[in-house]
Homo-oligomer: A and B are copies of this chain.
């Protein structure tokens, strides 16, 4: 994973199975990576994170680099994803928040007024120098393995800011969008700007693709998604242009898949509830799909996992491009060896002999 020039590594990454699948081009095998592959399931991660708070760990380029590389070394996945957290750019924009272990992001003063929105500052490269630096270090280290940039989408960020922390119902968020649409759109517009700049820094530093996580979008009806959320996600995705593939993902989004594609994704992430062939019918033939093994099935015996992987690869053939992944993030209790074995199986089962060598 080293020793190539930036230009040649960039070219190799652009021609990697992962990027090719995102672009719906022929691939030698179905590429595979795992959401949250860099993180809690790996003992080497838990060791390096001991005594380092989450937000601090996202702001140390050497640490980000090491954590991001760990699953690439261990599992042989087809892509790395920048280790970060969705609230990193929001904190850089001046919002007072922390990530509380066992709870998640906690916002000191939840957003209630236009003045609260005004206090969210625009950001640029100099507000997140550690991200720029980490991406550059990683691109050099990764060689031909592509690096995926990472950001949370405006709705999911807004939910944290309005609720003050994680929420099961997003009741305050939905009350705000319906009760004060002007304030809602002002908030999401500003978050879209922050998100877009956060991703532009990553693209400028050399990531080969980006994933926009709208983790909680599945809490919305399609009508609400289209009216209150889609324009802001579309602003981010359109603002990036087509230089790198754009993956867009949320959990429980079976009814939103078409809309999330229309928001400007090249690849739509699908959780385990919707089979990939069904998802492809909803999304249409001009987008790749990513997914969708149920992360809890990694606790099942291997023959069950193997059958599921084969089923998903089969259903993924209905799509014009398929990136194998889980349907949500790796759970902390997952056995890392099982992930490694899934990578090998995906590569083996999906190998297309005519295109090898």
Contact = CB atoms under 8 A, between A and B. Distances in A.
Given A221-B272, A221-B294, A174 B254 contact: no
Contact of A179 (B222, B223, B275, B300): B300
A304 interface: yes
A231 interface: no
A304 B255 contact: no
Nearest to A256: B273
A350 interface: no
A301 interface: yes
Given A254-B255, A301-B178, A169 B221 contact: no
Given A179-B301, A221-B273, A304-B179, A174 B255 contact: no
A277 B216 CA distance: 24
A301 B295 CA distance: 39
Interface in A132-177: 169-172, 174-175
A299 B163 CA distance: 14
Interface in A258-299: 272-275, 278, 294-297, 299
Contact of A178 (B172, B278, B304): B304
Given A218-B273, A304-B178, A333 B171 contact: yes
Contacts of A218: 252, 273
A183 interface: no
A296 B331 contact: no
A313 to B, nearest CB: 15
A295 B296 CA distance: 29
A252 B219 CA distance: 9
B178 A297 contact: yes
A309 to B, nearest CB: 13
A299 B171 contact: yes
A107 to B, nearest CB: 19
Contact of A174 (B224, B275, B297): B297
With a 10 A CB-CB cut-off, give which of A169, A171, A273, A300 has the most chain B CB atoms: A273
Interface string A305-344: 0000001000000000000000000010100000000000
B273 A174 contact: no
A301 B180 CA distance: 9
A51 B13 CA distance: 64
Given A254-B254, A254-B255, A255-B274, A296 B221 contact: no
A325 to B, nearest CB: 15
Interface string A224-259: 100000000000000000000000000010110000
Contact of A296 (B170, B274, B333): B170
A178 B300 contact: yes
A299 B252 contact: no
Interface in A178-229: 178-179, 218, 220-224
B300 A273 contact: no
A252 B170 CA distance: 15
Contacts of A294: 174, 221, 224
Interface of A: 169-172, 174-175, 178-179, 218, 220-224, 252, 254-255, 272-275, 278, 294-297, 299-301, 304, 311, 331, 333
11 contacts: A169-B296, A171-B331, A172-B299, A178-B300, A179-B299, A179-B304, A221-B272, A221-B294, A222-B273, A252-B252, A255-B278
Given A174-B300, A179-B304, A254-B254, 20 more contacts: A169-B295, A171-B296, A171-B299, A171-B331, A174-B296, A174-B299, A175-B296, A175-B300, A178-B297, A178-B300, A179-B299, A179-B301, A218-B252, A220-B273, A221-B272, A221-B275, A222-B275, A223-B275, A255-B273, A255-B278
